Amino acid sequence: MSLLQVKNLVVEFPGRRGTLRALDDISFDIAPGEILGVVGESGAGKSLTGAAIIGLLEPPGRVAGGQILLQGQRIDNLGYEQMRHIRGRKIGAIFQDPLTSLNPLYTVGRQLVETIRAHLPVTEAEAKRRAIALLQDTGIPAAEQRIDHFPHQFSGGMRQRVVIALALAAEPQLIVADEPTTALDVSIQAQIIQLLKRLCRERGAAVMLITHDMGVIAETCDRVAVMYAGRIAEIGPVHEVIHQPAHPYTGGLMASIPEMDSDRERLNQIDGAMPRLNAIPKGCAYNPRCPRVFDRCLQERPELMAAGATRAACWLHDGADPHRGHDRLAAQHAAALAQGERATPDAATPVQEIDE
């Protein structure tokens, strides 16, 4: 049974010039003990998905459709106080910069003890024992002494360990980790990844790991969801998605990773940029950048469909479609790339206007 279920999630931001849809029909689940990676370019909607699950959407952002269920209980429609009791107790969060997650005016011990006592019926002495044990579990040496230190007295890697301890303090079933290793150097990244994997396996917690780094995804996760323009482009087992990408966007991400044994002077890149929320193309949102675009991509938006061991939102995997026009448009795209131009299909991609 899935611990977390996200069903057809829609997140919108109302504004003076219209309503922007930032997440559009997102669906996935995470089982207990599983680590799901969420990857994509900046602006794809990764962190926003995590914020919606935690209940920390910045106003005027709102969940406008779909459901979020934790252990079968719907949580997206709960009030502020109800959600506040779930955060920490059932859902833990690890953010990118530990300095913004820790209060510089309080010792790490006080912050851990307060978090534990806010969610668990224990005495202060028992909460302190638990806090010391958590610091030890996360690899902080001399935890009995370091518990009385302030955040600025820890290195960046040690601060991130304290944040992980805070996320685990009330023994949550789900942890949302938003870029937990980005601010750390490579050697510390590897330690934090191994720590996260070990703690989750031992405690049976599910993890949603948000990152830009496909190397972190490959090392850490069981499954991966690739996001583009507020939708899931591909989802499946990590090994399959990395080695046999079914969506052209996933293939582009993998091709852009430098090869250690290559002497190539220029790295591969995906042409163009993520579309703005008020300019999502008709049809497949990736069609202006896709080297395999064909006629249907310009008119119809694909849903996730079976693509070998994964599922991909790409018409290339619709067995009923003969892909007429595909070779012609792919050749035009390649020619445009060769000329240094932005690749565009025959018909100009329409831009969605927002009414005043």
* 115-170 pLDDT tens trace: 999 999 999 999 999 999 999 988 899 999 999 999 999 998 899 899 999 998 98
Q: Which residues pair with 33 in a beta bridge?
A: none
Q: What is the pLDDT of residues 261-292, one digit of tens each?
A: 777 777 788 888 999 999 999 999 999 999 99
Give the chain's domains with CATH numbers.
28-57+79-231 (3.40.50.300), 281-350 (no CATH)
Rg (CA), the chain: 22
Instruction: Give tens-digit pLDDT for 284-317.
Output: 999 999 999 999 999 999 999 999 899 999 999 9
Q: Which token pair is 321?
A: 């479609």
Q: Which of 134, 147, 249 is nearest to 202 (CA)?
A: 134
Q: Tokens for 191, please give them.
A: 């330690």
Q: What is the pLDDT of residue 88?
A: 86
Instruction: Please state, in angstroms and rounded to a whole number, the distance separating the CA atoms of residues 295 and 312.
Output: 18
> Which pTM was predicted?
0.85
Mean pLDDT, rounded, for 72-90: 91
For residues 205-214, average pLDDT: 90
Give the tokens for residue 270.
């995906």
Please provide the average confidence, as pLDDT, over all residues in the chain. Answer: 86
- Report cis status (omega within 30 of 0) of the bond before 172: no
Element (H, E) at 253: helix 248-255
**CB distance 59 to 140 below 8 Å:** no
Residue 109, classified by CB atoms within 10 Å of its CB into exposed (0-12), middle (13-18) or buried (19+), is: buried
Question: For position 156, what pLDDT does the model report?
Answer: 86
Residue with more model confidence, 341 or 249: 249
Q: What percent of the chain has pLDDT over 90?
A: 62
* 104 band by pLDDT with thresholds 50, 70 and 90: very high
More confident residue, 322 or 168: 168
- Is the pLDDT confidence value at 330 over 90? no
- What confidence category does residue 321 fall into, taking pLDDT thresholds of 50, 70 and 90? low
